[in-house]
Each structure stands twice: as structure tokens, then as C-alpha cells.
Amino acid sequence: MITKVINKDHKDHKELEDHRVQQVRSAYSMALARKDNKDHTRAIRRGREVSTDRMVHVDHMAHSTRVRNPIRTDHKPRNKEQEQEVLNWIFAVIGEKVPSGQYEDILKDGIWLCKLANKLAPGSVKKIQERGTNFQLMENIQRFQAAVKKYGVPEEEIFQTADLFERRNIPQVTLSLYALGRITQKHPEFTGPTLGPKMSEKNERTFTEEQLRAHEGELNLQMGFNKGASQSGHGGFSNTRHM
């Protein structure tokens, strides 16, 4: 009887210990779960903060880009006849046949523009990127812009890179090329075809001292004498002038 009681107490004690161990394990698991949830929440918050910072940075960069390179909104309508005239002139200077395609697509990569610049001023564009990424092709346009500026085209008349590459302002591209065609007339070494109207030329005149002195004695029409007419007999306002 005593043995049975001892065995029963031992069994109850063991079950109690197992129950306590199970409680400790459960509590530990719950603590880990709470910690994971906190860490997860912190990670989400941190991610949101990073995303917000990135969005602010992107917005700032976009605003800065718009300030440096404002998008023109006062675009003039496109003139297809002028665009075709520009293409005909470019390829007449280069000595190539006008390729098929849209005006902006033909000029977009800047390759033909660089070849044009080298025809007008040999060696003005050292490197022409025939193929590559968009960034590399945009460099062709920038090299052309630098070359024509050095050639004499005013900076305010030169189109921006995005005007052509992103088709933001194709009419401005056409006007810039007309300006280039006009400037070629100031270069006597260029004997190729012209673009646009002929520029006015100086018409300087020289006079001898005798000719200048002869005109000093003449009276113009505002000096009170005109072939016998004078202020004589003109008494005042509203009076008739006697001739």
C-alpha cells in the first residue's frame, strides 16, 4: 500500500514537472513570436521611411531637372515643307541620298548631324557614335551642338538635346538648322548649297571732305525754308500761312 502511494506521488510529481516545462516552452515561444512581430513591424516602418525618402529624392531630382531643362510649351506648329527643305539641304551638303523615314527619326541619333558638321567644318566632331545606348547616341547631338556653336550659330538659337531625341520641340530643331544654313553664308570657304534666304550684305559708302562740306550748307525741309516758302506772314495759331 505504501509502495503504491509513493509511486503515485512520483508520477504526479513527474507530470507536474512536465507541465511546468511545457509552460516554460510555450512562454518562450510566445516571447519569440512577439519579438519577431516587433522586428517585422520595425522593418516595415523602416521600409516605408526609406521609400518615402526615395520618393522625396526622386521628386527633388525631377524638379531640378525641370528647372535646368525647362520643357518648352510655346511650340510653333510643324512645317513639313521646311522640314523637307532642311533634309534636302543636309544630304546635299553631305553628298548622300535622303533616306526614307520620318524627319525626326532620321535626325534623332545625331549621326547625320555630326556628319553635316564635319562637312561644314572638317574635324569639328572628333567621334561619331554609330550605335550604342540612348545615352551614347545623345552624345552625338551634344557634339553637334558644340560644333555649330563654335561655327557661329548663336547659343540661344541652338535646340536642346531633348527637343530632338525626345521629340519635345521638333520645330525648334528646324529653326536651329535654318540658323546653321544662314551662318554658312558667313564662311567664304563653304561653297555648297544654301538654306533659307540670302543674308543682307554691307553696303558701305565713302564720301570725300568736299562732298560732306557741300551738304553742310544745305537746309533740310524742317529748317523754315523750302523753295521760297518761309514762316513769313504766319502770325500765330489758326492763321493762314501766306505763300
Cβ contacts of 171-179, under 8 Å, gap ≥ 24 = 171/75, 171/76, 171/77, 171/78, 171/79, 172/72, 172/75, 172/76, 173/104, 173/107, 174/78, 174/79, 174/82, 174/83, 174/86, 175/76, 176/148, 177/86, 177/89, 177/90, 178/82, 178/86, 179/153, 179/154
Query: Which residues make beta-bridge pairs with 226?
Result: 229
Quick: pLDDT tens for 192-235: 998 977 765 655 667 677 776 776 665 555 555 455 555 555 55
Euclidean distance between CA atoms 6 and 12, whole angstroms? 10
Tens place of pLDDT for every residue, the chain, 243 residues?
444 444 555 566 566 667 666 766 766 566 665 665 666 556 555 555 444 444 444 344 444 444 444 444 456 799 999 999 999 999 999 999 999 999 999 999 999 999 999 999 999 999 999 988 999 999 999 999 999 999 999 999 999 999 999 999 999 999 999 999 999 999 999 999 989 777 656 556 676 777 767 766 655 555 554 555 555 555 555 555 555
Report the pLDDT value the prediction gives residue 192, as an integer from 0 to 100: 92
Return the percentage of the chain with pLDDT > 70, whole number. 53
Dist CA 64 CA 70 (whole Å): 10
Residue 117 · residue 124 · CB < 8 Å: yes
pLDDT 10s digits, 54-68 = 444 434 444 444 444
Q: Where do the domains of the chain lie?
A: 1-69, 80-186
Query: CATH classification of 80-186 is 1.10.418.10, yes or no?
Result: yes
pLDDT reported for residue 125: 96
Enter the pTM of the model: 0.54
- The pLDDT assigned to 55 comes to 42
Tell me which residue has cell 495759331: 237
